[in-house]
């Protein structure tokens, strides 16, 4: 019995010691990587500094200070590769960008230079991490054999991590960067979405585009170049839930100019109480210089809708379809008017979805549908490739089983004054959507979130539509709704009092969740 107790004690002590060695070795290896410094490498015409650091998720960060940073989810290993763009060799950049023979070779040149720099960084980091693990274990345990064991364990762990990073490399991540920095630099640095979708077949070409953009930007010195918009794309700026916040107009004007958008789609709640006093706020629409498509939200009254319709460039859609900038757009105003507290509000989400289904027959051949609430949007499932909505003050996108994509926009007005009710302010959000001019299908979109220094600071996530030409299947008429009722048998007739939006009519409202109370 005593023998078994002693054996267990020995096992526990050895296990504890092994764990301690691993922890010390890991700490030493991390410190070694941290102290390994930066590897300087010439990638095409760009002088870069490369460094690596442990992280929870694998990503590559390109720091193009002072323009901003690009983040790519390039691998799955717990390492972050940071590439800092330190300088531009102006003469080499000019020769590479202007000489057709060198331009053709630029992808292979950039790939070769980048791989050489990463290889040197990997070797240096591995040596420094191993040295750090060896020294740390030796200092703590003061036994060479234990230190060599820690070195061996650290080397195996690092080699495995590097192998995982190489094996899990995602070339496609380079066409979907996250951008943070100056809003003026975003479209020029990230590049044209249409170009990414149609011209670049591999990560080598996308690297070329990135280096070329950076070279042009740095060469401009004091003035940023104008965004060269692809003529084959129709650019749509999607905004929503402005809630009479004047900051939104600054954001919209800046994005319209920087991304050279062809039209703006506003999915409602431009006002807060729908009062006549708020009508003057919408006069800014006439100064934007591009068509402004608007659908009424649950905070917008008929008075608000009429005020918008009077503005130059405004296109008000309420159960109507118009061709705007080459896109056939159907719009449907929200059936509710929430600020009227004297009127009963129906809280059944199935009624809202049925409201959308009741108008499905009016969207034939529509390239895009605009509504205020995403529950209403689901009623158009299978009738159109794309539906834009708002209301939730939180951005999301959903691909419905029928092939219809629903994109819910956040609040372009930062939720208005109600944002002050929370500890964290509601972000200012908008999106730029890129449609093919021939097929009218969505190709890609940039989700833009502004904060910090207002419209001077921007976080942007590029998304590429994986299947732009997908088939859109009609939704079955007997499909169950979220509440379990049959979708095709509960739709009231269009024009029923249930759907009339006004102060003397019944209202509709979804379930009283926290997000809805804020909307």
Q: Which residues of the chain have pLDDT under 70?
A: 1-15, 17, 65-67, 90, 93-105, 182-231, 345-347, 415-425, 451-458, 475-519
What are the tokens at 210? 């990135």
Measured CA to CA in angstroms, residue 353 lies from 61, 93, 136, 382, 480 at distances of: 42, 56, 63, 13, 11
* Residue 456: φ, ψ to 5°: -80, -15
Q: What is the pLDDT of residue 482?
A: 40
Give pLDDT tens digits for 84-127.
877 777 677 666 666 666 656 677 777 788 888 888 888 888 88
Q: Which residue has the tokens 């709704």?
A: 481
Residues 24/75, Cβ–Cβ less than 8 Å: no
Give pLDDT tens digits for 395-415.
999 999 999 999 999 999 886
| Structural domains present in the chain | 20-178 (no CATH), 233-518 (3.60.21.10)
Question: In the chain, what is the greatest distance between 2 CA atoms, to the nearest angstrom?
Answer: 94
* Residue 499: φ, ψ to 5°: -100, 0
For residue 10, give every residue at least 6 positions away whose Cβ sits within 8 Å of its Cβ, in sequence order, or none.
none
DSSP string, 152-220: HHHHHHHHHHHHHHHHT--GGGGGS-EEEE-TTTHHHHH--HHHHHHT--SHHHHHHHHHHHHHHHHHH
Q: Is the peptide bond before 66 cis (omega within 30 degrees of 0)?
A: yes
Q: What is the pLDDT of residue 384?
A: 96
Give pLDDT tens digits for 432-446.
999 999 999 998 898
Question: Cα 92 vs. chain centroid, distance in angstroms?
Answer: 34
Q: What is the pLDDT of residue 312?
A: 94
Closest CA to 411 of 397, 395, 393: 393
Q: What is the pLDDT of residue 334?
A: 94
Separation CA 322–CA 308 (nearest Å):
16
């Amino acid at each position: 019995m005593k023998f078994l107790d002693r054996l267990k004690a020995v096992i526990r002590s050895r296990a504890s010691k092994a764990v301690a060695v691993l922890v010390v070795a890991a700490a030493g290896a991390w410190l070694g990587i941290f102290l390994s410094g930066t590897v300087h490498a010439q990638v095409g015409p760009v002088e870069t500094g490369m460094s690596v650091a442990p992280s929870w998720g694998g990503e590559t960060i390109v720091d193009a200070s002072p323009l901003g940073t690009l983040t790519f989810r390039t691998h799955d290993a717990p390492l972050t590769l940071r590439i800092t763009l330190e300088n531009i060799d102006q003469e080499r950049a000019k020769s590479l960008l202007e000489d057709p023979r060198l331009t053709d070779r630029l992808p292979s040149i950039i790939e070769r230079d980048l791989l050489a720099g990463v290889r040197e960084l990997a070797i240096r980091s591995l040596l420094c991490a191993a040295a750090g693990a060896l020294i740390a274990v030796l200092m703590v345990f003061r036994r060479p054999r234990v230190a060599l064991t820690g070195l061996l364990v650290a080397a195996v762990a690092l080699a495995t991590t590097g192998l995982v990073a190489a094996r899990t490399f995602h070339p496609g991540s380079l066409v979907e960067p996250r951008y943070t920095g100056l809003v003026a630099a975003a479209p020029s640095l990230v590049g044209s979405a249409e170009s990414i979708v149609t011209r670049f077949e591999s990560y080598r070409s996308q690297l070329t585009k990135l280096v070329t953009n950076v070279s042009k930007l740095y060469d401009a010195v004091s003035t940023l170049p104008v965004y060269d918009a692809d003529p084959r794309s129709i650019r749509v700026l999607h905004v929503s839930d402005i809630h009479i916040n004047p900051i939104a107009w600054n954001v919209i004007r800046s994005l319209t100019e920087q991304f050279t958008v062809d039209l703006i789609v506003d999915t409602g709640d431009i006002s807060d109480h729908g009062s006549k006093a708020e009508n003057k706020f919408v006069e800014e629409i006439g100064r934007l210089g591009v068509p402004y498509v608007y659908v009424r939200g649950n905070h917008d009254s008929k008075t608000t809708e009429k005020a918008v319709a009077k503005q130059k460039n405004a296109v008000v859609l309420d159960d109507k379809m118009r061709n705007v900038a080459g896109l056939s757009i159907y719009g449907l105003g929200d059936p509710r008017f929430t600020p009227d507290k004297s009127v009963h509000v129906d809280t059944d989400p199935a009624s809202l979805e049925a409201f959308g289904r009741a108008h499905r027959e009016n969207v034939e051949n529509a390239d895009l549908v605009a509504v205020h609430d995403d529950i209403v949007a689901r009623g158009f499932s299978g009738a159109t490739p794309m539906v834009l909505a708002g209301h939730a003050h939180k951005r999301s996108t959903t691909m419905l089983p029928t092939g219809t994509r629903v994109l819910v926009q956040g609040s372009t007005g930062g939720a208005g004054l109600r944002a002050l009710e929370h500890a964290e302010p509601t972000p200012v959000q908008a999106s730029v959507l890129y449609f093919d001019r021939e097929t009218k299908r969505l190709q890609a979109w940039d989700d833009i979130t502004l904060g910090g220094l207002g419209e001077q600071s921007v976080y942007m996530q590029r998304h590429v539509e994986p299947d732009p030409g997908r088939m859109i299947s009609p939704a079955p008429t007997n499909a169950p709704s979220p509440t379990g009722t049959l979708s095709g048998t509960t739709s009231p007739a269009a024009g029923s009092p249930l759907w009339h939006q006004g102060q003397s009519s019944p209202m509709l409202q979804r379930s009283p969740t926290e997000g809805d109370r804020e909307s």
